[in-house]
Amino acid sequence: MQKNTKHRVTMKAVAKQAGVSQTTVSYVINGVTSANIPEETRQRVRDAIKALGYHPNAAARKMRTNRSHLIGFITDEIATTPFAGQIFKGAQAAAWASGKLILLSNTDNNTDLEQAAVEAMLEHQVEGIIYAAMYHRQVEPPKALYEARAVLLNCFCADRSLPSVVSDEVGGGRMATEVLLRKGHRRIAFANHTASDPGVIGRLEGYKQALAAYGVPFDEALVCVDIGQADGGYRCAMRLFQQPDRPTALFCYNDRMAMGAYDALRKLKLSIPDDVAVVGFDNQEIIAAHLHPSLTTLELPHYALGKWAVEYLLAHIGEEYPLAPVQHMIGCPLVERESA
Amino acid sequence: MQKNTKHRVTMKAVAKQAGVSQTTVSYVINGVTSANIPEETRQRVRDAIKALGYHPNAAARKMRTNRSHLIGFITDEIATTPFAGQIFKGAQAAAWASGKLILLSNTDNNTDLEQAAVEAMLEHQVEGIIYAAMYHRQVEPPKALYEARAVLLNCFCADRSLPSVVSDEVGGGRMATEVLLRKGHRRIAFANHTASDPGVIGRLEGYKQALAAYGVPFDEALVCVDIGQADGGYRCAMRLFQQPDRPTALFCYNDRMAMGAYDALRKLKLSIPDDVAVVGFDNQEIIAAHLHPSLTTLELPHYALGKWAVEYLLAHIGEEYPLAPVQHMIGCPLVERESA
């Protein structure tokens, strides 16, 4: 354990240890192949680097190569959803595969902080910026984002002027409903969230598409709208399943509403899945896997979204900005458990 | 929207626009007060910077000032707990207050990745590294961490050779039990997690201390140990509350166990809090606030942990490393709801 703050190992020391010039060390570190340095010499330099614990100075290297090897990553509300971790992991996997590190800033949707974060990242000469939303929505990206190579993650802007990757809400809603249709259900209720975000609109659209594909007429009376939390799901289920001619299945906008619906169905003495089959959305592990019975649900592809965003950025790192505004969509996989 | 990849605004352009020398621009940007530049000239430079959208090159600035303004932040399992967001937010609040950005790496507890992450961060000349665990535990920090100013967050090392900040588990367990004692309960069961981490040991110790303070003898039969998830809580509650001489209160190691205990108590037709008062731990919002009745619990001080770690680091940034190994502890606040 070295008590040392001033004597960081220098390139000079590496050169001395390897018996070569500093220029040779620099060539080896920066992978300059045109320099024609024999492999045996390269190995000697690498050994010296290892033996001395030398860390090439990234700032100095950046000055020479004009590559910072940094990617900026801006999130809106990292602490309010459990999804940030998977989004970040996907992004990091792609970044690390190319030797990049991630500068992370959380802005809590504060416009001034967003602008400041982008500017601070540009000052650090990031090679690109990922702008990530924790739930799928339309955003108004900070203006400074147009001065960088930027990709929108789990969000999109109104004029589609920046590349974007989001989950396929319509496909997810369709699959959730099809799971129930395939099991023979025809009176399928839908507890939706009171909002007009892409998840709400898309999942309802998917629900309708699936019903149509099976020749089941859409019945407005089977759709209940309330807040997208346990309480909202509870109230929706109480309203939908007290009717004598009640539905036999329930698709919930998210797992939290399903959690509340479970309480209501239990209160109504209806068993899951025998009396009522239930399908959720989000695969919020802590809820979905641990309800009794465990919840069949659709998974949001957060890891894949994070990975795609960074891969797209890195694939276009040499190009002008803003990058070509591809609008990419990734499917939501079904997670079958016991509730349907 | 500027289509421009090559013509980043230069310091030269700023100097021209402001009608001053590049040296003057540099002095203004770097806050060199000894240069005696009139305020009127400084303002002209700031106006030109704003008008042109100039971003000073952080790498170049770093070369001059030897300060990267970067802090490394290494996490072990960002995606498996919902706590990472608050820890990060606390860390970021402290970092931003000092104009620092955070380089984040998640390592999934992989030793090789940890070592690589620390080395990559050192290469970027971070001013210090926070090594964060997502649950309170003892860790074996990567060796490279001793080559930096490092602080352990939500974890500690066996020989206490690095500074560390963790939550006060004993105090939390004591407070959880006291809530029940104050309401008159004397037969208080404890559903603990099967592990030997500081949370398990500390909360049990706090439970015993609170009982002792109220003159209630500790009864081994009232402690049930099972996995720290809903299933474990369910099984513990079934075991503890089927006895005729059953306890009147239950303290659960975490909110997930409490969630399972709720199911068991409902099955046993015992109402919460009238027949059995329940207190959880963690304040996992998505569970605790949405159970029926809502759960009284202890909050883990994640934001405060993150903030303390970075503030400690920044307060000692000029010092030799490893930093003085202060072992700091932060209390777990009580969140009173309806279950006790």
pLDDT of residue B70: 94
For chain A, the domains span: 11-64, 70-168+302-333, 169-298
Q: Write out chain B residues lying below 8 Å of A56, CB-based.
A: 123
Residuewise pLDDT in 10s, chain A (340 residues): 333 333 467 777 888 889 887 778 777 776 666 567 888 888 898 888 888 877 766 655 555 566 789 999 999 988 777 788 899 999 999 999 999 999 999 998 888 889 889 988 998 889 999 999 999 999 999 988 998 999 999 999 999 999 999 999 999 999 999 999 999 999 999 999 999 999 999 999 999 999 999 999 999 999 999 999 999 999 999 999 998 899 999 999 999 999 999 999 999 999 999 999 999 999 988 889 889 899 999 999 999 999 999 999 999 988 888 999 999 999 999 999 999 9
Q: Does B339 touch chain A (CB under 8 A)?
A: no
Separation between Cα atoms, residue B38 and residue B260, nearest integer Å: 69
- State the virtual CA torsion across A246, A247, A248, A254 in degrees, nearest 10: -130
In this structure, the number of other CB atoms found within 10 A of the CB of residue A247 comes to 21
Interface residue B104 vs chain A (CB under 8 A): yes
Report the gap between the CA of B5 and the closest CA in chain A (Å): 5
Supply the pLDDT for residue B6.
39
Check the CA dihedral A8-A12-A18-A23 and report its sign. positive
Look at domain B11-65 and name its CATH class.
mainly alpha
Q: How many CB atoms lie under 10 A from the CB of residue B237?
A: 30
Q: Who contacts A309 (Cβ-Cβ below 8 Å, separation ≥6)?
A: A91, A94, A130, A132, A151, A152, A153, A165
What token pair was written down for B104?
A: 């984040």
What pairs with residue A299 in β-bridges? A282
Q: Is there a contact between A82 and B286 if contact means CB atoms under 8 Å apart?
A: yes
- The strand ranges marked E within chain A are 70-75, 101-106, 129-139, 150-157, 164-167, 188-193, 223-226, 249-252, 277-279, 297-298, 327-330, 334-335
| Topology of the domain covering A70-168+302-333 | Rossmann fold (3.40.50)
**How would CATH label the architecture of B169-298?**
3-Layer(aba) Sandwich (3.40)
Query: Domain spanning A11-64 has what CATH number?
Result: 1.10.260.40
Q: Answer whether CATH 3.40.50.10490 is correct for domain B70-168+302-334.
A: no
ipTM of the prediction greater than 0.85, yes or no: no
Measure the CA–CA gap between B295 and B179, rounded to whole angstroms: 13
Could you read off the pLDDT tens digit of each residue along chain B, which spans 340 residues?
Answer: 334 333 467 777 888 889 887 778 777 776 666 567 888 888 898 888 888 877 766 655 555 566 789 999 999 988 777 788 899 999 999 999 999 999 999 998 888 889 889 988 998 889 999 999 999 999 999 988 998 999 999 999 999 999 999 999 999 999 999 999 999 999 999 999 999 999 999 999 999 999 999 999 999 999 999 999 999 999 999 999 998 899 999 999 999 999 999 999 999 999 999 999 999 999 988 889 889 899 999 999 999 999 999 999 999 988 888 999 999 999 999 999 999 9
* B325 CB within 8 Å of a chain A CB: no
Q: Name residues 106-165 of chain B within 8 A of A (Cβ).
A: 106, 119-125, 146-147, 161
Task: Please report, for residues A101, A256, B2, B67, B83, the alpha-carbon distance to residue B86 in angstroms, rounded to integers and kept in the order given.
Answer: 21, 21, 36, 27, 6
How confident is the model at residue B58, as a pLDDT?
A: 64
Q: How many Å apart are CA A21 and CA A27, to the nearest integer?
A: 10
pLDDT at B46: 84
* B2 interfaces chain A, CB cutoff of 8 Å: yes
Q: How many CB pairs under 8 A join A and B?
A: 157
Entry pTM:
0.80
- Note whether B260 contacts A53, CB cutoff 8 Å: no
A11-64 against A169-298: fold identical: no
Amino acid at B121: M
